[in-house]
Structure 1
Amino acid sequence: MTVEFEWRGDVDNASLNALHAEGFGGPPGTVDWWTRLHRHSLGWVCAREAGALVGFVNVAWDGGAHAFLLDTVVAERCRGRGLGAALVATAAGEARAARCAWLHVDFEEHLRRFYLDACGFRETAAGLIAL
């Protein structure tokens, strides 16, 4: 089947909460994604197959040169087909079109090959404080 990617696509809270639960574990949450995305994001990319939400990435930003990837997720049944890399490539293209100069991403060690090899990020030094 064909997967369609859409920048700032319509997304309903229930579908995105279900996709996040599948991708990150745990029961579906009750996050109001529509409000969160419209309040804090440069944009987001939705991937749909036969109308169903099968992938998502959020692009937060500082209002200037820096954009940040958050919540990259692909439905389990669709993994291994390049959808995640396509989501990130679409997000990068749209951030570039918005005149962002940098696209940042933080990731856990098991995602290193995905972000560095499949998506083309380069490794940088960073810091983190758990709050």
Structure 2
Amino acid sequence: MAIKYKWRGDFDNTSLNALHAEGFGHPVARTEWRARLERHSLGWVCAWEDGSLIGFVNVVSDGGAHAFILDTVVAQHCRARGIGAGLVAIAAGEARAAKCAWLHVDFEDHLRPFYFHACGFKATTAGLIVL
């Protein structure tokens, strides 16, 4: 089946909470995603197959030159098909269209090949404080 991608796509909290829990290995939460995204995000990309939400990425912006991707997730049964890279490509295009100059991402080391090779990110020096 064809994957359908949509910038600022419609979704229901139940589906996104289930996808997020599956992708990040935590119990299903009751996050009010719509309110969170409307408050903090430049936008987001949803991916569907056969009417089911199978992918998501959030794009947060500082309101200026910087955008950040968060919560990139693809359903386990749909991985290794280029869906994650498709989500990130649309996110990058929309951030560019919003006049952002930089798209940032941080990730766990095992995701390095995905972000550097499949998505085209480059290594940078960065810092982090665990709070």
TM-score normalised by structure 2 residue count: 0.99
Root mean square deviation of aligned Cα: 0.5
Q: Could you say which residue in structure 2 is the equivalent of 1:34? A: 34
Q: CA deviation at 1:50?
A: 0.9
CA distance in structure 1 between the aligned counterparts of 2:51 and 2:31, rounded to whole angstroms: 21
Unmatched segments (≥5 aa) in structure 2: none
Unmatched segments (≥5 aa) in structure 1: none
TM-superposition CA deviations, 1:55-109 (whole Å, max 9, x none): 0000000011100000000000100100000000000000001110000000110
Q: Could you say which residue in structure 1 is the equivalent of 2:122? A: 122
Count of residues in Structure 1 that have an aligned counterpart in Structure 2: 131
Is 2:21 aligned against 1:13? Answer: no
Q: CA deviation at 1:114?
A: 0.3
Q: CA deviation at 1:11?
A: 1.5
Q: CA deviation at 1:27?
A: 1.5
TM-superposition CA deviations, 1:6-49 (whole Å, max 9, x none): 00011111100000010001211011100000000000000000
Write out aligned runs for 1:69-80 (5 A): 69-80=69-80
CA distance in structure 2 between the aligned counterparts of 1:10 and 1:99, rounded to whole angstroms: 24
TM-score normalised by structure 1 residue count: 0.99
